[in-house]
Chain A
Amino acid sequence: MSPANVELVVRGLRTVRRSALWWTVGVVAFIVINLAFWPSLEGTEALESFGDMEALLEAFGAQNIATPAGYVDGQVFALLVPLLFSAMAITVVTGLTAGDESAGRLELVHALPVARRTVWLGRWTSSLLMLAGVAAVSGLATIACLPLFSLTEVGAGPIVGATFGCALLAAFHGAVGYAAAGLGASRALAAGAGIVVLVAGYLASFVLPISASFDWARSWSPWFWALGEQPVSDGVDPAGMTLVAALTVVLVALGTVAIDRRDIRTA
């Protein structure tokens, strides 16, 4: 990497460092608090009785909530952490691209001797590094919690796989926002595009399949590709993850090509 490329990535990271800190604190707190309830819930009738509400549990990816791995899936990795990671990725990516463009902060940067695509790829890289950092700390925190909360039955391997799947799904949704920003969407519109794909994927993966006639919808969801139904219990599918990664690359390429072909917005 050239010094200019390094500068772009480092500057992007410095810009989001405070945000990264708060996201990390929030996600880790969410994980720890959820896992901390397992010892008091394990084997209780309350948890067993959830089995009567299979459809509701499926909508939250918590169909095996009475088992340790199912509990970690249902409370952490099947729905809420992917949702949090994706919201973070969309927010950060669209903030560094469309947000900074609309605020006029890219005007001078794009007048400097650096290609537009280099600037935008630098910002994508910063976002990706932030996501990787938050995901790494979250995954490690989860693994550290397992022995503390009687979840040793769940191995570190499935947690690593599930965390990686969540981060990949988040990168994909961030890339949707990036592509929209590259095509000229405002920050609100670019973030909206990411959120729409996020929600549509959730509905296709968790809600529609509750009805047997819509079971096919799951196989069209990036959520399912990246995480399967229960990433900790069942493990993740490398082929599905590769598909999500490939789509992410295509979306980033689309946004990067698009920014080279249009006017930069004024503030």
Chain B
Amino acid sequence: MLGWITMNLPSNDPPEGSAVIRCDDVVKRFGEVTALDHLDLVVEPGTVVGYLGPNGAGKSTTIRLLLDLARPDSGRIEVLGQDPRRAGPLLRRRIGYLPGELRLDDRLGVGETLQSWAALRGGQVDARYVDELCERLDLDPTRRNRTLSSGNRRKVGLVGAFMSRPELLVLDEPTAGIDPLVQAEFLALVSEARGEGRTVFLSSHVLSEVQRLADRVTVIRQGVAVWSGDLDELRQQAKQPFTVWFAGAAPVDELRRVAGVSDVQVVHGTEVNGLVEGPPSALLALLARHEVVHVLFPEPDLEQAFLDYYDEPDAIGAAS
């Protein structure tokens, strides 16, 4: 049933030292809670990798370990070939980071904040590029931080992450709260980074964002990387929601017998909601035999697809 799952088995990993991010058997506990449970993760250079999982899965904890904001209890972490703790500031010069919970200092203005980050980067920031980023992301540097909406705060964080053109961008929920026009500009920035051979590691719940950006996806659940692979493959396998409006009574029993269809629910006798897993041709063939007024196949909810996957009791066993 889970034959489509392909894991990054050790034999398929790039050789030591060539990965941009490598976590081997990493464990991180907070008291009784195990946030990362023998996590293995590999990110190859020049790729955009989506890091997906439900809240509390361990995404932000992983990212904090990569930045040396937290230390693992056991296991080994390498970022750009170096141990984050030992390499310290020299390694962080090569990384741009956007935290999931970005807290700006409300006592400062946007311009002051960006200047401060640039100064702390020790002269590796081109002021003209910062201005360009502000313009592209429609961010007014004259505003005070305390007057910014959550979306504008994330724009400040994005400028901070991109300002030094780092080799590795680590972005935790980068577009949360940002309006669609600016999201498009963000996607362009990430595409440019990839075009320049830089690596982007981003956690996101937004399917469209990951679809348009990521070359690969790693799914984390309860601190374990349970799936890693190509996004298109995953999307094809994700359960596809559908809604059909029939001219007459909905053929519910027939629908429930169609291969791959599940969770069929009837609304007002003529409207049917459900999920179809795998190729939808059998479902479409059934619909063709009935008088259908309207049909809707919304974009699959990738996270829901993963949550469905998590529900499979064998998933972890299959993955590990």
User: Chain A interface (Cβ within 8 Å of chain B)?
Assistant: 2-4, 7-8, 11, 14-15, 100, 103-105, 107-115, 262-264, 266-267
Contact = CB atoms under 8 A, between A and B. Distances in A.
Given A103-B103, A104-B101, A111 B92 contact: yes
Contacts of A107: 69, 99, 101-103
Nearest to B170: A111
Interface stretch (B2-10, B112-120, B239-247): B112-120
A11 B116 contact: yes
B69 A264 contact: yes
Given A107-B103, A111-B97, 16 more contacts: A4-B120, A4-B122, A7-B116, A103-B103, A104-B103, A107-B101, A108-B117, A110-B67, A110-B68, A112-B117, A113-B89, A113-B93, A113-B122, A114-B120, A262-B71, A266-B101
Contacts of A8: 120
B102 A112 contact: no
Contacts of A105: 103-105
6 contacts: A2-B122, A112-B120, A113-B120, A263-B69, A264-B69, A266-B60
Interface centre among B64, B101, B112, B120 (most CB of A within 10 A): B120
A41 B171 CA distance: 67
B122 A111 contact: no
Interface of B: 60, 64, 67-71, 88-90, 92-93, 95, 97, 99, 101-105, 107-108, 112, 116-117, 119-123, 157, 160
B101 A111 contact: no
List the 4 shortest-distance A-B pairs measured between CB atoms, nearest first.
A104-B103, A7-B119, A263-B70, A113-B93
B56 to A, nearest CB: 13
B120 A15 contact: no
Contact of A263 (B71, B104, B120): B71
B297 to A, nearest CB: 39
A113 B123 CA distance: 11
A43 to B, nearest CB: 50
A136 to B, nearest CB: 24
A266 B64 CA distance: 10
Contacts of A14: 107-108, 112
B301 to A, nearest CB: 27
A100 B106 CA distance: 11
A207 B17 CA distance: 65
B97 A15 contact: no
A183 to B, nearest CB: 16
A3 B71 contact: no
Interface centre among A104, A107, A112, A267 (most CB of B within 10 A): A112
B120 A7 contact: yes
Contact of A264 (B70, B92, B97, B122): B70
